[in-house]
Amino acid sequence: MDARHWDDMYRSRDQVFSGNPNPVLVAEAAGLRPGQALDVGCGEGADAVWLARRGWRVTAVDVSEVALRRAAAAAEADAEVRDRVAWARDDLAATPPPAGAFDLVSMHYFPLRREPDHRALCGLLAAVAPGGTLLYATHPLPAPGPGPNTAAEYYQPGDIAQLLGPAWGIVVNETRPRTTPPPEGTHHTHDAVLRALRLS
Ligand SMILES: C[S@@+](CC[C@H](N)C(=O)[O-])C[C@H]1O[C@@H](n2cnc3c(N)ncnc32)[C@H](O)[C@@H]1O
């Protein structure tokens, strides 16, 4: 799934996602003190906008130029949001973000493929500053519904929790019912969520 795949996916509809922030983000980040946030695979930008409105300075990264253009356009009317969000095109599976730079690294449904050496994952984990939070939400296994099941190719929260060493504290590692209906055309009724605090 390269940039072209995602650009085509976004071009296929005028708006792909709801425009609302992910409920897992709202539930888990509402109580955090705002600082620097990295939104990994920000898509059409609803999470980045929500964070900015709460006072976060957000680096919102996506591999899709189409998604980023849409996200920036949606944020344009709100001067506060515009000033607090930097939209950036990058492939975060290939290029790690700056190490130790973010008080929150938020990954919602980011298609992070398992690798034997966990190279891309380690780069993303390293981006969390000491005292900062990692928030990872994805579709749990087994994936419901018919069709080919590729979900096992991607990291589950439990995989990541096992890789976190003593420098981390696990705050949440669970599968929970979604509070919103499954995304259109899917059977996803639950979210798998990891929230971890980098202690040092
Ligand atoms: C399922 S969408 C989720 C979008 C958003 N986080 C949300 O929850 O609405 C996954 C997003 O990750 C982006 N993406 C996929 N691979 C990427 C990569 N290697 N680097 C950066 N972004 C990527 C896609 O373009 C897409 O916008």
Residue 138 has pLDDT above 70, yes or no: yes
How much distance in Å is there from the Cα of 8 to the middle of ligand 1? 13
Residue 141 has pLDDT above 80, yes or no: yes
Q: Which residue has the higher pLDDT, 144 or 141?
A: 141
Q: What is the pLDDT of residue 148?
A: 56
Rounded to whole angstroms, the Cα distance separating 70 from 53 reads 18
**Do β-strands 190-198 and 128-138 pair in parallel, antiparallel, or remain unpaired?**
antiparallel
- Model confidence pLDDT, tens digit, residues 72-109: 999 999 999 999 999 999 999 999 999 999 999 999 99
Least confident of 29-33, 41-45, 101-105, 139-143: 139-143
Q: Which residue has the higher pLDDT, 183 or 56?
A: 56
Walk me through the domains of the chain, giving residue ranges and CATH numbers: 3-11+42-198 (3.40.50.150)
Rounded to whole angstroms, the Cα distance separating 107 from 144 reads 21
Choose which residue among 62, 92, 108, 113 to substitute to test ligand 1 binding: the one with the highest number of ligand atoms within 8 A of its C-beta: 62
Residue 13 has pLDDT above 60, yes or no: yes
Rounded to whole angstroms, the Cα distance separating 34 from 134 reads 14
∠ CA(112), CA(117), CA(120), 5° rounding?
Answer: 35
Which CA distances in Å does 113 have to 36, 54, 116, 121? 25, 31, 10, 9
Q: What is the pLDDT of residue 182?
A: 78
Rounded to whole angstroms, the Cα distance separating 137 from 144 reads 17
Please give the model's pTM, rounded to 2 decimal places: 0.96
- Model confidence pLDDT, tens digit, residues 51-74: 999 999 999 999 999 999 999 999
Rounded to whole angstroms, the Cα distance separating 165 from 163 reads 6
Rounded to whole angstroms, the Cα distance separating 133 from 32 reads 9
How much distance in Å is there from the Cα of 44 to the middle of ligand 1? 9
The pair of three-digit structure tokens given for residue 83, joined into one six-digit string: 């000033």
**Do 137 and 24 touch, CB atoms closer than 8 A?**
yes
Q: What is the pLDDT of residue 83?
A: 96
Q: Is 6 in the pocket of ligand 1 (CB under 6 A)?
A: yes
Residue 168 has pLDDT above 70, yes or no: yes
- Percent of the chain with pLDDT strictly greater than 70: 97
Rounded to whole angstroms, the Cα distance separating 165 from 184 reads 37
Q: Is 64 in the pocket of ligand 1 (CB under 6 A)?
A: yes
